[in-house]
Amino acid sequence: MSNQKFYTVGKLVNTHGLKGEVRVTSTTDFPDQRFRKGNELFLFHASLSAPLKLKIETRRAHKDFEILSFQGYSHINDIEKYKGGELKIPEEALMELEDDEFYIHQLIGCEVVTDEGEALGKIVDVMQPGANDVWVVKGQRGEILLPFIDECIKEVDIANKRVVCHLMEGLL
């Protein structure tokens, strides 16, 4: 498991009640599939020397959270120590995407060029502030924030790790 790649699908932010339920902030676009009863997730927490495999027993949505319980963790005392942990899935559990879709981790490291051929740098992070994602590009001009909107992002070629953008007025 040491060579295996994992991807975060949620963060265990708190307990919920006394029966071992936890409040999870979802970071996946597929919560219905990821948090389905019977699915396995891996918990990464500072107190653990290795990821802990958990099997989902129950799931329900509550406000902006997923409320989950796990098999073998039926009391608050069983799970409370893992607050702040991240719930992850192994790489082989990633879902197939449509041709024009991609995962955030696939964008990191992509070279960004303008539609006029100017190299801007590489994508180093993707922020998700709300209305649209914002891609953080670092290069010789410093840090550039590109909104993921049709007017700005013209082409994404994951296979060749290349993105073509149109620099809208005010982005630099």
Three-state DSSP at 153 gives: strand
Do residues 133 and 109 both lie within one domain?
A: yes
- Are 62 and 23 part of one and the same domain? yes
Number of domains in the chain: 2
Rounded to 5°, angle at Cα 102 from 100 and 107: 120
User: How does DSSP classify residue 73?
Assistant: B
Residues 6+ apart with CB under 8 A from 130: none
Is the pTM higher than 0.85? The answer reads: no
> How many Å apart are CA 54 and CA 71, to the nearest integer?
7
Domain that holds residue 47: 6-93
Task: Report pLDDT for 1.
Answer: 52
Residues 144 and 82 in one domain: no
Q: Which one of 93, 115, 146 terminates a domain?
A: 93
Q: What per-residue confidence (pLDDT) applies to 98?
A: 84
* CATH code: domain of residue 146: 2.30.30.240
Look at residue 97 in the predicted model and tell me its pLDDT: 84
The pLDDT tens digits of the residues spanning 103-161 come to: 888 999 999 999 999 999 999 999 988 789 999 999 988 999 999 999 999 999 999 99
